[in-house]
Amino acid sequence: MDYSDVVVKKPWGMEYLCYRNEDVAIWLLHIEKDKETSMHCHPNKNTGFVVLKGKVELSFLRNIIKLKALDKIHIFRSRFHSTKAVSKDGAFIFEVETPEDKHDLVRLEDKYGRKGKQYEGTKHHIDKTDNCIWIPEAKDNEDVIELFGYKIKHFIPIKKNLLKAKEEDLYIVTKGGVCTHTNQKIVWPGDVIDGHTLSRLLKAFYFDSTTTMISITK
């Protein structure tokens, strides 16, 4: 199923695909106030979350953490989780999937009767509108997308330009990554990393030659 031209309606809001390549897919989620996703896991893929607007409670089987705008977290394969929006206008989230597979889904609990069911089918799809964003591939002439007061840019990174990256800036690796001098990869496609951590790593290591990244900055 090609989701690139549709918005998927959910009982808690909606989501749509806004970037994909052979390694990574990025979805934009809108969870409405006081609504929540199912308690679910992905047996075969890792997930990165970036909260773009609003506040959420991210629940696991034994604990809850609170996240606000530009907080990030990685959720490794097979870890059950549920996300609830707790702010007035709900919450908007980038969800980064590695690899892309919307049917890699196991629902443990669900308030909307979807326990044990698969991902929503075509009857829940509507056409995208002009308000939906699409992140273009990285290139020398970088396009910048304005979203919720942030600048979203897909680019080919240059090490010297990121040695003083700001802690409050976030980067999503879409290809390549960061490698040691013995060619061991320590940052992978799909990873979300803050500027301070990235700059520290680049003082010792280097970008794979194929690397592209999406930056989220003020």
Beta-carbon contacts of 65 under 8 Å, excluding residues fewer than 6 positions away, are 57, 58, 73
Residue 32 gets which letter from DSSP? P
Which residue ranges make up each domain of the chain? 6-127, 144-217
End-to-end Cα distance, the chain? 35
**Rounded distance between C-alpha atoms, residue 1 and residue 87, angstroms:** 33
User: How confident is the model at residue 143, as a pLDDT?
Assistant: 85
Q: Which residue has the tokens 């089918």?
A: 121
Cis peptide before 99 (omega within 30 of 0): yes
Q: Dihedral (C-alpha) 39, 30, 32, 192: value to the nearest 10 degrees? A: 60
CA angle 87, 58, 48 (to 5 degrees): 105
- Which whole-number Å values give the CA distances from 182 to 186, 204, 206, in the listed order? 11, 12, 11
Query: What DSSP character marks residue 22?
Result: S
Report the number of secondary-structure helices (H) and strands (E) in the chain.
1, 20
Count CB atoms within 10 A of the CB of residue 41.
Answer: 21
Strand order in the sheet with 82-85: 64-67, 56-59, 82-85
* Fold assignment, 6-127: Jelly Rolls (2.60.120)
The reported pTM is 0.95
Residue-wise pLDDT tens for the chain (218 aa)?
Answer: 889 999 999 999 999 999 999 999 999 999 999 999 999 999 999 999 999 999 999 999 999 999 999 999 999 999 999 999 999 999 999 999 999 999 999 999 999 999 998 899 999 999 999 999 999 999 866 789 999 999 999 999 999 999 999 999 999 999 999 999 999 999 999 999 999 999 999 999 999 999 999 999 99
- CB of 170 closer than 8 Å to CB of 94: no
Q: Can you tell me the distance from the alpha carbon of 38 to that of 89, in angstroms, rounded to the nearest whole number?
A: 20
